[in-house]
Every structure is written in C-alpha cells, then in structure tokens.
Amino acid sequence: MIENQNPFFTVYHTPRHTVPFNLIRTEHYEPAIHEGIKMQEEEINAIIQNPAFPTFDNTIVALEKSGAFLDQVTTVFGNLLSAETSDELQAIAERVMPLLSEHSNNISLNESLFARIKAVYESAEKEQLNPEDKMLLEKTYDGFIRSGANLSNEQKERFRQISSELSVLTLQFSQNHLKETNHYELLLTLDQLDGIPESIIESYAQTAKEKGKEGYIVTLQAPSYIPFMKYSANRSLRQQLYMAYNTQCIHDNEYNNTEIVKKLVNLRLERAQLLGYSSVADFVLKRRMAENSRNVYNLLDQLLEAYGPTAQKEVEEVQNLAKQLEGADFQLMPWDWAYYSEKLKEQKFNFNEEELRPYFELSQVIQGVFGLATKLYGITFKKNEDIPVYHADVVAYEVFDEDGRFLAILYADFHPRASKRSGAWMTSYKEQWIDEKGNNRPHVSVTMNFTKPSADKPALLTFSEVNTFLHEFGHALHGMFADTTYQSMSGTNVYWDFVELPSQFMENFAIEEEFLNTFAKHYQTGENIPADLIQCIIDSSNFNVAYACLRQLSFGLLDMAWYTRTEKFEGDVRAYEKQAWKKAQTLPDVPETCMSVQFSHIMSGGYASGYYSYKWAEVLDADAFSLFKEKGLFNRDTANSFRENVLSKGGTEHPMDLYKKFRGQAPGIQALLRRNGII
C-alpha cells in the first residue's frame, strides 16, 4: 500500500482537523497500527538513549508525548469497533489486540525506561515541580509499578502472557454479546401486541420492514425491549422476551461467555497477585476515591440499610396491585415487574409515561440539552455538515465558548443499528492538551440507542432516554471543558469513581420545571408541556426509587464478589452470582438467568471492582446539585465554580480536593436520601 493513500499518514484536511471518516477504509487500520507501534518504539528508544541525566522534560514529558500517531489510529479503530463495527473490523481486532498488548508491555516492562523514570521520581527536581507536573510524575511512576516494572524477569513474562490473553478475551466477550443481541428477534402479529402504545407498534413494524419481513419484530435492543416489558398485556410473551434477554451468552452455542468469565476473573486475580495484591479489588481501589473494599462495602451496606425497607414496601405495593388485577394467587415474577409497576404508576399519578413522548421530540430535546449548557456556561453549538462522520445517523457540531473561542467538536450518534453495541457512552476522538502550538481542543462523542423515527413520526423519546442524553452529555462537558497541560490527565481521565459525577449531576435537571419549560413542546401543535404533566414527572420521580437503588446495589455486590476473591474461581458461574447479590434481591429468582456472562461493564468495559462508582457518584451528584437548588438552578457563579473546580481540571488533583473546592465541604449521603424521599 502506498502510504499517501492511507489518510492516517497525512495531515487531516478537514474542518478543525477532524477524523476524515469519509476517506478511511478497513484496510487502512492495520498498516497504520503497525507503523504507529514502530514510531513509538523509536520514540521510546530515543528517551532511553538520551545521554543527558534524566529530567522531568527529557523523560516524563517525552514519554507523555510518545505514541501520538498510534493513539490517533487506535482511538478511531477502538471507537468504531463499538459504534460502527463489522466482521472485518472484528477480525482485525483479533489480530492487533495481542500486538497492542505486547507493545504496551514492552514499554511498561522496559527496565532502562523505568530506571530513568525512577531517577526523576527520586531526584531533587521533584520538589520543584508545579502540582500538575508532580501529579504527572507520580501517575507515571505509579503506573509503571502497577504495570509490572518491579517484577522479576520470570514474572514479567507471565505478566505479558496475562495481558495478551485478557486483551483477546475482553474482545471475545463483547463480540459474543453483540452477536447474541443481534441474533434474536421476536416476530409477532398485531393481535399479540395488546397494550403496546401505537408509537411503539409503529417502530416494531419498521423493524420488520427493515428486516424484509411481514408483521412486527421485537428485538433485545433497549428501545425495543423496554417498552414491550412495560406495556405488553401478554404475560407469556413478556416471559419469553425476558428469558431471551436474561439468558444471553449462557446458551449452548458459540456465543456462550461462561468460560470467558472464569478466565477473565482468574487472570485478573493472577495479575493482581503477581503485583503483590491479594485481590483485584485491592489493586484497583488503591487508585480510587474509595481507596479500599471496606469503604466500598460500607457505602453499599449503608444504602442497603437505608433503602431496603422502602424497597420491600414498593415490591409489596406492586404485588398487591397485580393480585387485585389477576387474582389472589398471582405470583409477581421479574417479567411482570415493569408491566405492573407502570400500572401502579398510572394509578398513583394519573399519567402514562407514553403521554410524555410527544413533548420529547429528539430535535427539541437536543435544543433543550444544548440550551441548558448555554444557560449554565454560555457555550453554543453549531452544526457543521462539512465535518465527516462515520455513519449517516451521526451529526457533528462545533462548540464555542462564551467569548466566541472554539471549544470542542461534539459528535452525536443517537439511534440503534446492528453495527453498534447496546447501551450509551461518551468517548473522545481527540483529547485536550497544551503544547508550544497552543491549547489543542478536544473532539468528543456521545453515542446512544434511542427510539428511532418511524415512517410517519419523528424520533419521540421516553423520559428515560432524555435522562440518558443528559447523562452522556455530562460526560461530554467533562471532556469539552478540559483545560490541562497533559493529555493523559485531561477531561474524563480521572479516578473511576469520580468520572460519573459530571454525568449523573446533569440528570438532576430532568425533573426541574424551569428546564423542561425551555424545550418540551408538542411535536405537532408546538404547545408547551402542560403544567400538570410536569407535576406528574416531579411527583413520580421517586416512584420505586428504592427498588432501583437495590437493583444497582445488587450489581455492585456482584462486581465486588467477583473481584474481592483471593483464590482462583472454579465453581458454577450462575450459582456464584445468585449467592453474591442475594441480599439485594427483591423479586423471585429465575434459575436459568445469568447476568455475569453479559455484564460488559465489569467483564470487558473497565468497571472491574468499579461498578459501585455509580452509587458513589450519586452521593456526590446529589450533594453537588443541592448547591444549585440553594443558589438558583441556572446560577452562573455556581456553574462556573463547578466548571472551574471540577469539569476543567481532569485528573490534575485528587478528586476529593477538587470536590471540596467546589462544594466547600466533604459529601455525605444525606442529600441523596432527601432527594429520594428516604428521609
């Protein structure tokens, strides 16, 4: 291949030097990755062979800047592997992941390089560094220690093998889950859709049409699965769909993840023990706000005690309604929960969430969410159709600060497709950093799986989807406001249990009348959302909140059970799972189901020993938002303080220090308990 035909090897002649997705072909990745590895090897050798005494600039900063080209290529490749994948991309991933793992190990296990890093770390220069430089030095030194730099040669070899195996296994886990999700479809006739709202029926018809079939197709993708479970009056079909969803990757087929789970858990444990830790959790939590598993369990147990009694009452209330409707012998099962919960919600608050959809047309929601950022921070968004995108669904925006300066690029990708994994996430195509050329601004992306437009209706979102948008947009703001010297510490490069604060903080606005009135208009009439509907949203915001809390706690307990282990796992995955989260379960157990085999967050998504982060950050976000409630929802001084002390600082300071600078005090769970009506 001629290098100048590969867009990765040229300067990007695109607006703001954005990724030229229109020019990149599948065959471009591997040559660019191989070249990137070679380039960084040369950069590392130059650091090692520098005859000058090791200094912060010639060693730590030089290492920080190395690998820029490789990072550029792998960032695009890795992001599209999740957002716009294909069999060809996945085949490339299987070939290059072990190479990238080996390359990473070649750096972190390089004795000569570590000797220079250690020399800087132990030198008198360390005390003269500014706080951000000192943080980079400590992060670099600690990162090498945690990546095996102090191991014996024999241990280093085993460390390499483990890292390589993990890179392959996490990829296989994700691919199996995506394929299992895409493999399933439930083909129905109109008379089997009793109870389903018209807008959802239209989307099922659209799915069937896209698949070239007559009738209505329900899939395991969230915008399809969730409404069916919530509204379908056909209990046997709810059970059928529930079982399909909750037995993904446990069937006797090529997508079974059972053995992969065992291998992932055991390899991570072996790696942690190689590094001198008794468990994966001990290793991971040393670099978290929580610090250790005792503090994690303390939080989980506190919340379990606070929310448990209320959760039991919520379940009893739904069970009682189901018995009223179906008979005294009716046993509420997990596939009944969403359906009868919705019935109870309608009864208690006199509204159906589907009534909200007409007021949450996607383009209006976009205006509302962007407008919220304008009110809080003064930033503005301008669509730029000249910026190349990786799929026709994606929209690219230029983001400008209040003074008109360019701030960031934002890509928005809203709808599900077979080539995109499930869920919602924020990522970056380019991080922020400062160098001699100036402040290099970031290119960030929010990727979701929202309700698609139908043949005769635009995309009308659920209230939950509006919440998800706000959540991912919070992550995006964290990325877009980044203002640090070093890329590895900018934006969302923070402690894992701090990263969810900016995202969950934004969700608080979803039930605020002042915010809803800025954008929620009927997509046909243009009328504002009625005040009584807004009141229903507010009144129902804590509906079954304790049940939802225990559900999250059960996931946190499962995660901790897998990663506080000190011995190799050789048991039954399903049985272990059910014991692990037993004390947080509120509905009858279904023996055939299994979460671990499809729990991407903790198996392939970076949340191993970290799922508690959502609840940890919820404590922070409730406490933080209480200040906005006190000072004014759109108070610019409070917002600018949040931007300055939290959103722009990245990982340059300890997160608790950043939080205290914003809030003036350490957080406690009281604000969360008050918000949820527990106290």
CA 399 – CA 380 distance, rounded (Å)? 6
CB atoms closer than 10 angstroms to residue 670: 14
CA 390 – CA 18 distance, rounded (Å)? 12
| Region label for 313, one of left (φ > 0), alpha (ψ between -120 and 50) or beta (otherwise) | alpha
Residue pair 89/25 in contact (Cβ under 8 Å)? The answer is no
First to last CA, the chain: 66
Nearest to 182 by CA among 257, 112, 248: 248
Please calculate the CA angle 31-37-41 and round it to the nearest 5 degrees. Answer: 145
Q: Which single residue is written with the structure tokens 């790696």?
A: 271
Give 428's strand partners.
444
Residue pair 426/492 in contact (Cβ under 8 Å)? The answer is yes
CA 170 – CA 24 distance, rounded (Å)? 25
Residue pair 255/270 in contact (Cβ under 8 Å)? The answer is no
Instruction: Copy the structure tokens of residue 429.
Output: 């195509």
**DSSP per-residue string spanning 476-535:** HHHHHT---S-GGGSTT-S-TTTTTHHHHHHHGGGG-HHHHTTT-B-TTT-PBPPHHHHH
Helix (H) or strand (E) holding 135: helix 131-146
CA 358 – CA 523 distance, rounded (Å)? 6
Strands 425-430 and 406-413 turn out to be unpaired
Helix (H, G, I), strand (E, B) or coil at 651: coil
Residue pair 61/130 in contact (Cβ under 8 Å)? The answer is no
Long-range contacts of 461-464 (CB under 8 A, 24+ apart): 461/357, 461/360, 461/361, 461/362, 461/365, 462/226, 462/227, 462/353, 462/356, 462/357, 462/360, 463/353, 463/356, 463/360, 463/510, 463/537, 464/226
Strands 216-218 and 186-188 turn out to be antiparallel
Q: What is the dihedral of CA 340, 343, 345, 347, to 10 degrees?
A: -140
Q: Which residues contact 99 (CB under 8 A, 6 or more apart)?
A: 33, 34, 37
User: Among all residues, which ones are annotated catalytic?
Assistant: 472
**DSSP per-residue string spanning 316-350:** HHHHHHHHHHH-TT----HHHHHHHHHHHHHHHHS
